[in-house]
Chain A
Amino acid sequence: MKGHPQQSIEFLKNEGRVNWHDETLWWVRQRRDNAAHGLTEWERLREKASEIKDYTLSHLDELLLNFEEKAIQNGIRVHWAGDAKEHNQIVHRILKEKKIDFVVKSKSMLTEECGLNHFLEEQGIEVIDTDLGERIVQWMQQKPSHIVLPAIHLKKGDIGAVFTEKLGLPQTNDAQVLTEAARQDMRKYFVASKVALTGVNFGLAKEGAFVVCTNEGNADMGVHIADVHIASMGIEKLIPKQEHLGVFLRLLARSATGQPITTYSSHFRSPSPGKEIHLILVDNGRSAILGKPDFRSSLKCIRCGACMNTCPVFRKTGGHSYESVIPGPIGAILSPHKDPVRYKSLPFASSLCGSCTAVCPVKIDIDKQLYLWRQELSKKDNMGRAAHFLAGEILASPSWFNFGSRSFYFFHKKFPALVNRLLKPFTGKRPLPEAAPQTFREWYKKNA
């Protein structure tokens, strides 16, 4: 594992692309702002969503039991998976029973988390990702770089090239033509598929039903044509009852892309006659996070991606730099629970500006958790402690700060190349600007 600063260097090599990524996500963030400002009750909705999720977490066992009971009554087959491996085995068992060699799958961060595609491919079952962005990254043998916009790190030229390679389409940058080609190609799989996989956006405890949201209609194309629908759901995706969707569906798409609602909000309660719905409830570390009072609110996440779009570090370094399934601010506080060594650099991939917390529709205190993780990880890590000392002690003491900044100023002025080389892991390709003729303090003393 190289860690976030090293990984970012790759991304930062192409300055034009970095700027495009930055500006595009900022534009999505602005669309979110416009949609949010259009609702006078926006802040009260966030408050309510947060309360409902807090209630859910504090009653999660009872609500899951109720959900299971009702879902079974509705004819849904419910499975429980303690970890990723068990989840994958359950899916595989169902597929083996049906004797099929490929499945269509709509976007599900949970199946990414479980490494399902890789697992099934090892068993000789092909997985066709049907979301256009996911299909593109799958073709390129990459991972999604964003949870809502999986191919946001790619440009039309890259995408055109992979369409030429995979579908024989003459190279084009026309999004309309590319989308049409993907549509025609994907229909072949949709009409032939027997089993379709989806994620779940919301499970409804009282009704034993669940909701899947998409814009492309790919989840619905898959599951309604196939005979078997397998839905993978993290146990934290539950809400107490259907009427609470009023709050969550008003928040989700507005936070994600600025749309008033996704094109399709599909409500599944029971299978069509003769068909099957399997629902897999997955823990995979969630119940452990529930036991950590400072961190449990991260389980309230509805995966809207707003914290990524607003994060200056994410926008400038790209999702792949995080090397975790969920990137960005929420990924930086979730991933270290899985592996604190592997993901130790992620809580430091933040300026702690708090913008993530300010936009989060369920009011997770992301910036606070980033800070707490830094403390926790620094205890384990000397490098972290040194950084912590530099940042914490020096900034807290005026005389140390003065000494520090004057020495830095001196070195930077005398040996700019050396300073730039030493700071490269932090500054990437961008050299520091030239040292000013005097420090701010000196200027202030003279001019104030």
Chain B
Amino acid sequence: MNSRKEILSRIQKNKPEAKAMPVGFTGMSSYTFNDFLQMLEKVGGRSVKLHEIGDLRTWLRQEFGKEDLVVYSEWGGYSGNHSLVDPVNVDQMQHIDIAILEGEFAVAENGAIWVEKFRHRAIPFITQHLLLVISQKAMVSTMHEAYELLKSWKAPGFGVFISGPSKTADIEQSLVYGAHGPRSLTIVFLDNL
């Protein structure tokens, strides 16, 4: 408790003259759906339109090339073959090949998706591959608008912007996907605009 008091009193003594709170940022560029697609590609992700790929089950098998895929889905439009029981622990999650979650909205300027709904917070990271299902209409242009939407962020205690699959360039700046998190990220768009 002492340190708290000491730190605060040092700050009080040392801080500069009070500045006024800056006004909000205005005059940002605007970005379109196509910008989103380009950015997504740049960050190593890809997207598909649900109505174009037909049956999701067949598509998954084709794309991920394995008969006995462990698919865990929280999206109402698809039921996987893996379920979790409370209390969810790491043993139930560590063999998931594909997790299908719902995204809340997309950000066109950087290819990111805001995700905050999952049975367990580790799922979007521990899965080998991640699919995020989202409506094409749920898109904002920049991060400023994203945080306008998140002003009313109330429910869960954790949320994350995900932009592409997990990656590293720590070995001589060679880019490798699948560092510790998902090896791939696929955005599944729902409506046919």
Contact = CB atoms under 8 A, between A and B. Distances in A.
Interface in A224-244: 224-225, 235, 240, 242-243
Interface stretch (A114-122, A246-254, A353-361): A246-254
A283 B19 contact: no
B34 interface: no
Contacts of B174: 156, 175-176
B57 interface: no
> For the side of the interface on B, what is the size category?
35 or more
Contact of B7 (A250, A260, A287): A287
A217 B180 contact: yes
A90 to B, nearest CB: 10
Contacts of A24: 172-173
B167 A216 contact: yes
Contacts of A74: 157
A221 B180 contact: yes
Nearest to A42: B29
Interface string B143-167: 1101110110100011111111111
Contact of A183 (B21, B25, B153, B179): B179
Given A183-B180, A191-B94, A58 B173 contact: no
A264 B162 contact: yes
B168 A215 contact: yes
A269 B155 CA distance: 10
A354 B148 CA distance: 36
A267 B158 contact: yes
A65 interface: yes
Of A183, A263, A268, most B-chain CB atoms within 10 Å: A263
A202 interface: no
Interface residues of A, number: 90
Contact of A267 (B1, B14, B24, B160): B160
Given A159-B171, A259-B43, A268-B157, A64 B11 contact: yes
Contacts of B111: 260-261
Contacts of A274: 87
B182 to A, nearest CB: 7
Contacts of B168: 132-133, 179, 215-216
A136 to B, nearest CB: 7
Contacts of B90: 191, 225
Contacts of A270: 157-158
B184 interface: no
B181 A235 contact: no
Task: List 7 A-B pairs, minimum CB-CB distance, nearest first.
Answer: A217-B181, A291-B14, A270-B157, A133-B170, A260-B110, A216-B179, A175-B174
14 contacts: A55-B20, A58-B15, A65-B8, A152-B173, A155-B172, A156-B172, A215-B179, A218-B180, A220-B122, A225-B90, A246-B147, A262-B163, A265-B112, A271-B157
